[in-house]
């Protein structure tokens, strides 16, 4: 069921709501604030300078200094489920994005809550702000549907230039993996090209500034959402940023993980001496050859350069707002959509063949146009320091990310907020900041999904120390990995290959690294929280993960149907020789890798 019954009614209701809003606004001395949401892609917990990073992020640090940084903020472990909650304030199983399309088990496809795109019963923040007199803009990554009815123009955004899928090349218009038949870009709902001088972070900010500048004339407040591709694979960045980090990572990932842990503790974000898990997926740096160490350090240099390049573009946006007199009346929200990504397509035979056929994987230094770089699990464990795990999984390394909020009227400056918070809390918070009453499960006369989160405004203004009571349970599930938060405690299980599917209990206040399992010493709490999780599953329609589910194999199945089949249809019958060569190459690569493992000569 749609929450609007037609364009005429929508337009009439919007006019009435906007008119009422403008009348109310005129009665107030201070105009309603502009709102800007900045979403980084795959940034780890300590990738921001204000969180203990060695990467230069002066503009994000400025926002933290003039606002609040959150040390205990949680999202989903992959991009589109987080984005769905960020834009609706509704649990992802209820808003249609129970999983990403790319990792959806076949048994879940078509089931309620598992469309992989936003459903019509979840109202977006953009819709609510637009109906209350805001301009609404989006640039960058969308990943919530690419059919016409699912594009931003039909979800409350009046102007948009978006990349529709999980990612794409940062230098040119092409797909980055064999998951899609092409790179899908849309401007105002129509397929669009990219300029010759395109670089993702710069272009997204250019477009946002263009949209914001065009709205200056009518003086209405605006909501701008920028979904950066930094630091999603492929890792690519302008050389002037990458060069700054030459030699910075020559000591390896274990040294970086420890250094970041210590700086984060010194900043008051985690307890001093926080214990850390030694992940089995982290290679021993000292066992690498000299050449391999150099190659791995180059990957991390590109990663750092890409992050700094994004921060630089954020600085351009801030400078524009200051020059136009809008900065002081703008609320900023910065977050990452999930923790660092452990994936390295070059370690997966099928994707490795495609990447090597389409990119230069041996460039030194990497990062430029036509090159492909990825960090893999070892660097991901360092950029997520001191947390356990990374993207795709329910450990804190996948779910706990940086959140910075600034510009909220009445908020104390330069604070660290340690209370448990969740991505679903952002929509009710921003509605509160804008003076808009959140819906109660009814919108435009139709029943819709109620908001799952709570407003953080009283906490931001120093009126309370928490958002969620200590006895309130917050559930989470994605692709079989799951968690239940309650007060300081977390119940969590992870599927293979990172986990064993068993539940564990941690006290996150003293043990954010999830090292000390309390399940056996606190059996009553363990049992109680497991009951809470089962209630979350029931209330939100969470489906059980099929036995033997494998993330990598599921992604390959998606690639067959959304990349290989469309290509074959377009090229048939001339594609047969190419197909033979492609799968022949996969077979040879697999045999070579198997033989090297057997004789113990596989390079590290």
Write the pLDDT tens digit of every residue in 412-460: 999 999 999 999 999 999 999 999 999 999 999 999 999 999 999 999 9
pLDDT digits (tens, 9 = 90+) for 25-74: 433 457 899 999 999 999 999 999 999 999 999 999 999 999 999 999 99
Residue 10 is predicted with a pLDDT of 47
- Give long-range contacts, CB 8 A cutoff, 24+ apart: 496-503: 496/550, 497/281, 498/279, 498/281, 498/389, 498/392, 498/393, 498/395, 499/393, 499/395, 503/530
Could you tell me the two tokens for 89? 């304030």
Omega cis (within 30) before 365: yes
CA distance 419 to 407: 20
Torsion on CA atoms 114, 116, 117, 118, rounded to nearest 10: 40
Residue 20 is predicted with a pLDDT of 45
Interior angle at CA 378, CA 373 and CA 382, nearest 5: 100
CA distance 136 to 331: 14
* Whether residue 79 lies in the annotated active site: yes
Residue 1 is predicted with a pLDDT of 40
Q: Are strands 222-227 and 34-40 parallel, antiparallel or unpaired?
A: parallel
Could you tell me the two tokens for 85? 């909650």
Contact (Cβ atoms closer than 8 angstroms) between residue 31 and residue 20: no
- Fold held by 473-540: Arylsulfatase, C-terminal domain (3.30.1120)
Residue-averaged pLDDT of the chain: 91
As a whole number, mean pLDDT of residues 523-533 equals: 98
- Measured between its terminal Cα atoms, the distance across the chain in Å is 53
CA distance 510 to 130: 43
How many residues belong to the chain? Answer: 604
Active-site pick, 21, 74, 79, 468:
79
* Whether residue 143 lies in the annotated active site: yes
Residue 431 is predicted with a pLDDT of 98
Residue 488 is predicted with a pLDDT of 98
Residue 18 is predicted with a pLDDT of 46
Contact (Cβ atoms closer than 8 angstroms) between residue 70 and residue 366: no
Radius of gyration of the chain measured on its C-alpha atoms: 23
The Cα-based distances of 575 to 523, 572, 584 in angstroms read: 60, 5, 14
Q: Could you give the maximum distance between any two Cα atoms of the chain, in Å?
A: 79
Residue 329 is predicted with a pLDDT of 97
CA distance 35 to 87: 13
CA distance 557 to 564: 10
CA distance 308 to 477: 32
Percentage, residues of the chain above pLDDT 90 = 83
Contact (Cβ atoms closer than 8 angstroms) between residue 513 and residue 387: yes
Q: What φ, ψ does residue 144 adopt, rounded to 5°?
A: -125, 20
Residue 604 is predicted with a pLDDT of 35
Tell me how crowded residue 320 is: count the other CB atoms within 10 A of its CB.
16
Contact (Cβ atoms closer than 8 angstroms) between residue 223 and residue 125: yes
pLDDT digits (tens, 9 = 90+) for 364-404: 999 999 999 999 999 999 999 999 999 999 999 999 999 99
Sheet holding 330-336, edge to edge: 190-191, 185-187, 159-163, 135-141, 222-227, 34-40, 330-336, 403-406, 67-70, 415-417
CA distance 150 to 143: 10
CA distance 563 to 560: 6
**Domain 7-460 = CATH 3.40.50.920:** no
How many H-runs (helices) and E-runs (strands) does the chain carry? Answer: 18, 18
Helices 290-323 and 200-214, axial angle in degrees (round to 10) = 10
pTM: 0.91
Q: What pLDDT band is residue 24 in, cutting at 50, 70 and 90?
A: very low
Q: Which of 19-33, 276-290, 378-392, 585-599 has the lowest mean pLDDT?
A: 585-599
Contact (Cβ atoms closer than 8 angstroms) between residue 327 and residue 318: yes
Residue 579 is predicted with a pLDDT of 57
Contact (Cβ atoms closer than 8 angstroms) between residue 248 and residue 182: no
Asked if the model's pLDDT at residue 321 lies above 60, the reply is: yes
Active-site pick, 108, 143, 299, 468:
143
**Tokens 């272009």 belong to residue:** 203
Q: Map 394-458 to HEC letters.
A: CCHHHHECCEEEECCCCCCCCEEECCCEEHHHHHHHHHHHCCCCCCCCEECCEECCCCCCCCCHH
Residue 9 is predicted with a pLDDT of 39
Asked if the model's pLDDT at residue 596 lies above 60, the reply is: no
């Amino acid at each position: 069921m749609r929450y609007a019954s037609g364009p005429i009614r929508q337009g009439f209701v919007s006019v009435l709501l906007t008119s009422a809003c403008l009348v109310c606004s005129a009665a107030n001395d201070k105009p309603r604030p502009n709102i800007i949401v900045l979403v980084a892609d795959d940034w780890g917990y300590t990738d921001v300078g204000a969180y203990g990073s060695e990467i230069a992020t002066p503009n994000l640090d400025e926002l933290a200094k003039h606002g609040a940084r959150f040390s205990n903020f949680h999202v989903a472990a992959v991009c589109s489920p987080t984005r769905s909650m960020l834009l609706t304030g509704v649990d992802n199983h209820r808003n249609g994005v129970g999983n990403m399309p790319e990792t959806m088990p076949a048994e879940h496809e078509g089931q309620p809550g598992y469309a992989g795109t936003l459903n019509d019963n979840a109202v977006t923040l953009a819709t609510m702000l637009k109906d209350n007199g805001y301009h609404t803009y989006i640039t960058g990554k969308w990943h919530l549907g690419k059919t016409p009815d699912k594009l931003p123009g039909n979800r409350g955004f009046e102007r948009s230039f978006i990349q529709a899928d999980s990612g794409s090349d940062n230098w040119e218009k092409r797909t980055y993996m064999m998951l899609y038949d092409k790179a899908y870009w849309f401007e105002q709902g129509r397929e669009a090209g990219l300029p010759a001088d395109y670089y993702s972070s710069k272009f997204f900010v250019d477009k946002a500034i263009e949209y914001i500048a065009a709205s200056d004339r009518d003086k209405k407040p605006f909501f701008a959402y920028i979904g950066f591709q930094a630091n999603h694979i492929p890792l690519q960045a302008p050389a002037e940023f990458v060069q700054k980090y030459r030699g910075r990572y020559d000591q390896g990932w274990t040294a970086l993980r420890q250094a970041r842990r210590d700086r984060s503790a010194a900043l008051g974000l985690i307890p001093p001496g926080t214990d850390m898990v030694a992940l089995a997926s982290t290679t021993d740096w000292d066992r690498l050859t000299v050449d391999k160490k150099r190659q791995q350090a180059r990957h991390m240099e590109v990663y750092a350069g890409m992050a700094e390049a994004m921060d630089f573009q954020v600085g351009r946006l801030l400078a524009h707002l200051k020059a136009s007199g809008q900065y002081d009346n703008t609320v900023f929200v910065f977050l990452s959509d999930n923790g660092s990504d452990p994936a390295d397509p070059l370690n997966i035979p099928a994707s490795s063949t495609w990447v090597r056929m389409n990119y230069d994987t041996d460039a030194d230094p990497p990062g430029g146009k036509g090159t492909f770089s990825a960090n893999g699990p070892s660097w991901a464990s360092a950029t997520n320091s001191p947390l356990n795990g990374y993207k795709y999984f329910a450990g804190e390394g996948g779910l706990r990310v940086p959140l910075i909020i600034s510009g909220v009227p009445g908020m104390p400056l330069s604070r660290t907020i340690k209370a448990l918070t969740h991505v679903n809390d952002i929509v009710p918070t921003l509605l509160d900041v804008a003076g808009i009453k959140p819906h109660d499960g009814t919108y435009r006369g139709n029943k819709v999904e109620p908001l799952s989160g709570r407003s953080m405004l009283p906490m931001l203004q120093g009126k309370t120390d928490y958002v969620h009571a200590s006895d309130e349970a917050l559930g989470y599930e994605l692709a079989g990995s799951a968690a239940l938060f309650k007060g300081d405690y977390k119940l969590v299980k992870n599927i293979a290959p990172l986990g064993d599917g068993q539940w564990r209990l941690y006290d996150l206040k003293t043990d954010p690294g999830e090292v000390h399992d309390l399940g056996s010493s606190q059996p009553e709490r363990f049992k109680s929280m497991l009951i809470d999780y089962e209630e979350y599953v029931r209330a939100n329609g969470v489906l059980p993960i099929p036995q033997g589910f494998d993330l990598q194999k599921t992604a390959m199945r998606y690639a067959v149907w959304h990349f290989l089949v469309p290509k074959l249809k377009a090229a048939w019958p001339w594609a047969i020789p190419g197909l033979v060569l492609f799968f022949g190459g996969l077979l040879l690569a697999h045999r070579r890798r198997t033989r090297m493992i057997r004789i113990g000569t596989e390079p590290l």
